Chains A and B, each alone.
Chain A
Amino acid sequence: MLAFALRRSLLAGVTLLGATLAVFCLVNLAGDPVRIMLAETGATPEDVARFKSELGYDRPLAEQFVGFVRRALRGDLGMSLRFRQPALDLVMERLPATIELATAAMGIAVAVGVSLGIVAAVWRGSLVDRLATTVALVGQSVPLFWLGISLILVFAVMLRWVPATGRGTWAQLVLPAATLATFSMARIARLTRSSLLEVLRLDYVRTARAKGLAEPWVVHRHAVRNAMLPVMTLIALQFGALLGGAIVTEAVFAWPGLGQLALQAVLTRDLPLVQAVVVVTGALFIALNTIVDLLYGCLDPRISVR
């Protein structure tokens, strides 16, 4: 178990380094950060050159990257070009808001998705099934942006039940969490349905029925538990989708999270900040998946970790 955890951590480190390198290359390909910082300001080319050398952007790319990794290992992810503050501080300031949003969204997605999936599988082919499948399909295809704005118009502008934007209260969390939950909810519902249908066909379920157990009991006690295993994996992977979806959701609801910061950092080529975002979210994502891998072994006795 310990060896497994160690191996996973090592692999996680390599993955993180790879992600950082990829982002470093992409951002540098897309343009000179200092020139973009001073665009539209009337700064002369001499100013641009002077800023570049002061900020170290005139050195070879390889040297810049090695320098970045070396400092990162000491916990220094550099100064944001635009904010003139440590990039790691900026990311850490925003992280709780995104975790809060993603957790709430995941809660909604799991609760609604699993229920829909079970209902659809149990009453397979019925009107309920068709309704649940349609909801899942719509949920997977509706653009987050459109959904978010529609929810604001209905619940904040017309009904005035909740504020349109902001963070701090329960009421402010509902709309963005529901919006962000939609996509994952749909996927969870569909996977729960197909996974449960498969389990319901298995012999042990027939045995359970044969020994006279009531159908709800069969489903709840015997089938759902086993059907949930692939769903668990999906949930862990969906956290990645949630972090991505958070960019749009946060923009629509002015939610003060990492997504908005990341978008701003990319648009302004704030290289140190983009890298800090990637390192922190990458670490988070990798950690979550590692935890689920370990959990999997506990949940399913057939899988043993060597």
Chain B
Amino acid sequence: MRNRIFPGLLAVVALLSLALGASGIEAQTDSAITVVHGSEPRSLNPPIDIVKTTVNVELTMFDTLVGVDEQVRLVPGLATEWRRTGDNVWRFTLRRGVKFHNGEDMDAESVVFSVTAYREAKGQATPFFNAVREAKAVDKYTVDVTTAGPNATIAELMSFLYVLPKGYYGQVGAAKFGLAPVGTGPFQFVEWVKGSHVTVKRNPGYWKGAPSLSQITFRWASEASTRVAMLESGQADLVVAVPAQMVDRIKASGNGVLQIQSLRKMFVEMNMFRPPFDDARVRRAVAHAINVDELVQTVVADSGVKAQHFLSKFFASYNPALPVYGYDPEQAKRLLAEAGRASGISFPFYHTVGRYPLDREVATAIAGQLAKVGMKADLKGMETGTFFNLLGSGNMEGMHLLSIAPLYPHEDFNFRVQYHSRGLYKYGNSPEGDRMLDDAATLSDAQRRKAAYQNVEKYAMQDLVSLLPLYDFIDIYGVSKRLQWRPRPDEIADFRTASVK
């Protein structure tokens, strides 16, 4: 008798392979492109998933109530104009004649419905809309948004509101909508093959004129080397989040590299409510002990740009005149001695491993610099989830390395997260800071707003000194020769004006 098991197994495998061989890879025709992100969207229902790579996909199919341009300034979107009509009321005037991909009219009812959907979705975007008390249709093309208290951040918040079709969304429900969305955007949904790709095609009736690209296929690969290989092998036209060390390789392969200074900022933060950092002199000593120039030149290199102000240069309130802490180890030692810590301090230094490019390397380098002035940082590298869990609990001792990028372009976003006693992280705040932030958030007048936030930053940097900005990230994209596209500083890839040669 012959051995039958293994030939049998082989035959099964061969048959399986044949069966799988039926479908092919789509050809890249005329102006269709393929974009590769690091991860698959969890849902295409905008309130659910606010990860930037998901936003990139959603932005092709939806329009926001207020638009954002390449310089992260507010521009008309589905609302042509907006103004604050009272301390607590904002009035939005809508664009006429805009239709959703399914033929529904986009009107005041759609906007009112969208605000409600955001508030009820239990998604990552939901908490932001707590600031809105209600949205009410005044007439078919006018909406009044009422806030809980005086609030000047609503226009920026509405640049984060994707307008949803009331009829279709109501009919299919939130979960199904997230699998097959309908918007007003320049592209319309074609298919989402789970695990494989999302495809969108040109919307010929787009209100701003049909886009140049005929189709976009979004794929994903969590490994950067895989994404780059996809670009090099002609499988992709655009890949995101390219590590700086792969730039030369991409250029050598004949593809292009695009880099832009991002709104994302890296900083170290100290717990100002627990020793040893409950003494402002110790925090100032740390500020003088970190050599940001050396850090950026030798460790961060092409992945970042030195930026020691809290607000990014893209904000109107950016104040380059505000002095920053210079590297001065002697001053650091003096301050430590003044604080009665001449013998040095030791503390835990928490950081993520792999959440941000070079996070571990940067933390290690900073610990090395601090050691030179008698500050012993005990490095505690953590997996991302564990890190944020501890950080959010408010019980993180010592120092941590963290980065932040605003979800919508208002100064209040960054400041409130880090510096408000009711913000997400509670390591540096004061009643004075709370008052300044609450007041600033009510100001609509551009000049007064600018002055107020410059004041907040000065207070945060010079009085609180709980947080030390280090550098802005540089976002790196790999692009094929034929793609013409420009990156934006807010980590969002917008394909509305992209084209192929």
Chain A residues within 8 Å of B, Cβ to Cβ: 30-32, 35-48, 51, 54-55, 80, 82-85, 93-94, 97, 100, 103-104, 106-108, 110-111, 114, 149, 152-153, 156-157, 160, 163-173, 220-221, 224-225, 228, 251-257, 260, 263-264, 266-269
Interface contact B10-A36, CB-CB below 8 Å: no
In-complex Cβ contact of B393 among A35, A55, A266 (8 A): A35
Q: Say how far A159's CB is from chain B's closest CB, in angstroms.
A: 10
| Chain A residue, CB-CB nearest to B176 | A85
| B388 cross-chain contacts in A, Cβ below 8 A | 31, 35-36, 39-40
Interface contact A43-B385, CB-CB below 8 Å: no
Interface contact B407-A41, CB-CB below 8 Å: yes
Interface contact A44-B13, CB-CB below 8 Å: no
Interface contact A253-B226, CB-CB below 8 Å: yes
Q: Say how far A95's CB is from chain B's closest CB, in angstroms.
A: 11
| B5 cross-chain contacts in A, Cβ below 8 A | 228
Q: How many residues of B contact A (CB 8 A)?
A: 72
Distance between Cα atoms of A228 and B123 in the complex (Å): 53
Interface contact A32-B389, CB-CB below 8 Å: yes
Interface contact B225-A149, CB-CB below 8 Å: yes
Is B429 close to A, CB under 8 A?
A: no
Is B459 close to A, CB under 8 A?
A: no
In-complex Cβ contact of B25 among A35, A163, A220, A260 (8 A): A163
Interface contact A165-B226, CB-CB below 8 Å: yes
Distance between Cα atoms of A40 and B9 in the complex (Å): 49
Do A165 and B385 form a contact, CB below 8 Å, given A51-B122, A94-B195, A254-B226? no
22 examples of A-B residue contacts, CB within 8 angstroms? A31-B385, A31-B390, A32-B389, A35-B388, A38-B124, A38-B392, A40-B404, A41-B407, A43-B424, A44-B422, A44-B424, A48-B392, A82-B49, A93-B195, A106-B9, A108-B13, A110-B10, A165-B235, A172-B25, A254-B219, A260-B195, A260-B222
Do A252 and B50 form a contact, CB below 8 Å, given A42-B416, A103-B16, A107-B12? no
3 closest Cβ contacts across the A-B interface? A256-B195, A107-B13, A31-B389
> From residue 18 to 57 of chain B, which have CB atoms closer than 8 A to chain A?
18, 20-21, 23-25, 39-40, 42-43, 45, 48-50
Q: Say how far B226's CB is from chain A's closest CB, in angstroms.
A: 6
Distance between Cα atoms of A166 and B178 in the complex (Å): 23
Distance between Cα atoms of A32 and B395 in the complex (Å): 14
| Chain B residue, CB-CB nearest to A105 | B13
| A253 cross-chain contacts in B, Cβ below 8 A | 221, 226
Q: Say how far B190's CB is from chain A's closest CB, in angstroms.
A: 16
Distance between Cα atoms of A42 and B420 in the complex (Å): 11
| A173 cross-chain contacts in B, Cβ below 8 A | 17, 20
Interface contact A83-B42, CB-CB below 8 Å: yes
- Which of the listed residues A40, A166, A256 has the most CB atoms from chain B within 10 Å of its own CB? A40
Interface contact A54-B233, CB-CB below 8 Å: no
Q: Say how far A117's CB is from chain B's closest CB, in angstroms.
A: 12
Interface contact B20-A39, CB-CB below 8 Å: no
Do A170 and B21 form a contact, CB below 8 Å, given A84-B175, A254-B221, A257-B195? yes
Interface contact B178-A84, CB-CB below 8 Å: yes
In-complex Cβ contact of B386 among A30, A44, A164, A224 (8 A): A30
Interface contact A256-B194, CB-CB below 8 Å: yes
| B130 cross-chain contacts in A, Cβ below 8 A | 44, 47
| A164 cross-chain contacts in B, Cβ below 8 A | 226, 229-230, 233, 235
Interface contact A82-B424, CB-CB below 8 Å: no
Is B384 close to A, CB under 8 A?
A: yes
| B422 cross-chain contacts in A, Cβ below 8 A | 44-46
Do A42 and B424 form a contact, CB below 8 Å, given A228-B5, A254-B221? yes
Is B367 close to A, CB under 8 A?
A: no
